[in-house]
Amino acid sequence: KNEVEQSPQNLTAQEGEFITINCSYSVGISALHWLQQHPGGGIVSLFMLSSGKKKHGRLIATINIQEKHSSLHITASHPRDSAVYICAVPRGETSGSRLTFGEGTQLTVNP
């Protein structure tokens, strides 16, 4: 069992739909990252959160530390949101932080 698991693996939506991507983890963490990866490979950090909720534009990330679960929501989805969304948790607080990643959710938003 992976330390970080995401669902769904693939998600297809119509423009304007509300999107939810889920992430569960099995290790104790102090923070969780949501990242976006476009075709070609570059990774962009969307959020880092350790409790509650964060919002940036149409993106909302929530985390429940007790339940070891986080969600990424996209409101009013748009074709330009099509990308792979990855959650990741840092491992190793004192010796340097390495990220353990989920396998990603491929999101396709059709016009």
Partner 1 sequence: ETGVTQSPTHLIKTRGQQVTLRCSSQSGHNTVSWYQQALGQGPQFIFQYYREEENGRGNFPPRFSGLQFPNYSSELNVNALELDDSALYLCASSSRQEFHTQYFGPGTRLTVL
User: What is the binding site for partner 1 (CB under 8 A)?
Assistant: 4, 30-31, 33, 35, 40-45, 48, 86, 88, 90, 92, 95-104
Q: Give me the least distance between CB of 39 and partner 1, in Å please.
A: 11
Q: Which is nearer to partner 1, 17 or 54 (CB)?
A: 54
Q: Which is nearer to partner 1, 48 or 65 (CB)?
A: 48
Q: Give me the least distance between CB of 101 and partner 1, in Å please.
A: 3
Instruction: Collect all residues with Cβ–Cβ distance below 8 Å to 109 and sequence separation of at least 6.
Output: 12, 13, 14, 15, 17, 19, 77, 78, 79, 80, 81, 82
User: Which pair of structure tokens corresponds to residue 99?
Assistant: 């990220």
DSSP 8-class letter at 95: S
Q: How far apart are CA 49 and CA 54, in angstroms?
A: 7
For tokens 């423009």, the residue is: 15
Q: Which is nearer to partner 1, 17 or 103 (CB)?
A: 103
Q: Which is nearer to partner 1, 14 or 97 (CB)?
A: 97
Q: Give me the least distance between CB of 28 and partner 1, in Å please.
A: 14
